[in-house]
Structure 1
Amino acid sequence: MPEVIFNGPAGRIEGRYHPAKVRSAPIGIVLHPHPQFGGTMNNQIVYNCYYQFVNRGFSVLRFNFRGVGRSQGAFDHGVGELSDAAAALDYAQAINPEARTCWIAGFSFGAWIGMQLLMRRPEVEGFISIAPPANLYDFSFLAPCPSSGLIVHGDKDAVVPLTSVQGLVEKLKTQKGIVIEQQVVPGANHFFENAIDPLMEVVGNYLDKRLGKQDAAE
């Protein structure tokens, strides 16, 4: 898991990158929660999600948004952070020129950024959106949502009520040709305290299903 530094719109960006063994393997980008509330690429959910992709043969990158850790710049209310995410995908594609597809995963604020990146990059074929803050940010840009994906939420989330996420899911499900899967982790709050393992089981099972690795005993 080498440390990497790459150029972003606001200066250098600090990341961690795990190369795949197969040159044509898909790329995975994992985005961290809100920088002003302690979010970093070492967040436990981001870290564990990163390894869900690593363990399935992806080339995976997680990184600190501008102003976090050793990444240069300052918090930009989502605008600059979206540019950072695009720069991260550009970087990953530059060192994996044979990769044809990629996945975006994000937690909370990172889920919001990830869904915006999804709209701008047609090569994104799947997404994992963990506790998307549908009551705090505008998700109306997802019209139509271009890729199938997973939305995971805790039923004890006091930051983002389940009803607001449910509304987002129902809206996305109206798009033809894509499948939005929703999973609710029982007893989990917004940060999935004491619920990381069941969350990662949901994420891993979904990846296996999309990658065709689940057997008939599912």
Structure 2
Amino acid sequence: MSLTEIPLLLDGPAGALEALYLGRADARGLALICHPHPLFAGSMHNKVVATLQRAARDAGYATLRFNFRGVGQSPGEHANGEGEIDDAEAAANWLLAEHPGLPLTLCGFSFGACVAACLGGRLERRGVEVAQLLMLAPPVERFAVDGRLPEAGPLYVIQPEDDEVVTPAAVYAWSAALERPHELLKVAECGHFFHGKLNELKALVLPRLHS
């Protein structure tokens, strides 16, 4: 069985969404992965996104990562987060249709973490269960997610302690005030893009995907 991603163009609300999909007949779950900010060179090829995909692959998941509107071969323009949630919903709908009945895990890095979080709440309101939500370095100081997260399923927040893009103290304060059960994982001596820490990141993510 091949564990190589294949390129796809998926129907999206602003046009086709460029994507990479790993399908597998033995999948134990599904992982949708959202990339960082489109206006700051974020794409599905980001190395943190790629690390999340490999972790999900190694945990036995079918995976889908995609480019938001206006990135790569996905037409359209940046839509300040709200349109990107629509893009992510379209990608999730496609993945769920390909693998009906399998649990869906949502993952996101930076801007994509907040998109994934808001998507989770939207899906839950539709009656779609979100098995897990992983938020890496979420810019909660700039992207409103309060009241929009899914209420059920494990939530993991992974925050670099030396983040130069997202203020760690803001993430810690948000976590402390969040009434929803969750796990906050701090990565020491680590910047926003997890330089030199990708193996450590994968080691944090893998057991949580196996849980």
Give the TM-score normalised by structure 1: 0.88
1:20 to 20, 24, 27: 24
Q: Does 1:126 align with 2:132?
A: yes
Once the 2 structures are TM-superposed, how far is the Cα of residue 147 of structure 1 from its aligned partner? 2.9
State whether residues 20 and 54 of structure 1, in contact with CA within 8 Å, keep that contact through their aligned partners in structure 2: no
Aligned amino acid, residue 152 of structure 1: I
2 CA distance for matches of 1:62 and 1:16? 5
2 CA distance for matches of 1:32 and 1:76? 14
Percent identity of equivalent pairs? 31
Once the 2 structures are TM-superposed, how far is the Cα of residue 143 of structure 1 from its aligned partner? 6.5
Q: Does 1:139 align with 2:141?
A: no
Pairing of 1:41-190 with structure 2 (within 5 A): 41-99=44-102, 101-122=103-124, 123-142=129-148, 145-172=151-178, 174-175=179-180, 179-190=181-192
Aligned amino acid, residue 160 of structure 1: V
Change (3 A) 1:14 1:156: same
State whether residues 5 and 12 of structure 1, in contact with CA within 8 Å, keep that contact through their aligned partners in structure 2: yes
Match for residue 208 of structure 2? Answer: 206
State whether residues 21 and 57 of structure 1, in contact with CA within 8 Å, keep that contact through their aligned partners in structure 2: no
- SS across alignment from 2:60: coil
Aligned amino acid, residue 162 of structure 1: P
Match for residue 34 of structure 1? Answer: 37
1 CA distance for matches of 2:143 and 2:59? 31
2 CA distance for matches of 1:171 and 1:143? 14
Provide, for residues 47-90 of structure 1, a one-character-per-residue CA deviation record: whole Å limited to 9, x for no partner. 11011111111111000000100011111111110000000000
2 CA distance for matches of 1:144 and 1:128? 12
Aligned amino acid, residue 39 of structure 1: G
2 CA distance for matches of 1:144 and 1:77? 21
* Unpaired segments ≥5 residues, structure 2: none
- SS across alignment from 2:159: strand
Aligned amino acid, residue 142 of structure 2: L
State whether residues 122 and 148 of structure 2, in contact with CA within 8 Å, keep that contact through their aligned partners in structure 1: no
Provide, for residues 90-147 of structure 1, a one-character-per-residue CA deviation record: whole Å limited to 9, x for no partner. 0101111232x20000000000100001101121110110000011222222477333
Total equivalences in the alignment: 203
2 CA distance for matches of 1:206 and 1:17? 21
Aligned amino acid, residue 9 of structure 2: I
* Unpaired segments ≥5 residues, structure 1: 211-218
Aligned amino acid, residue 40 of structure 1: S
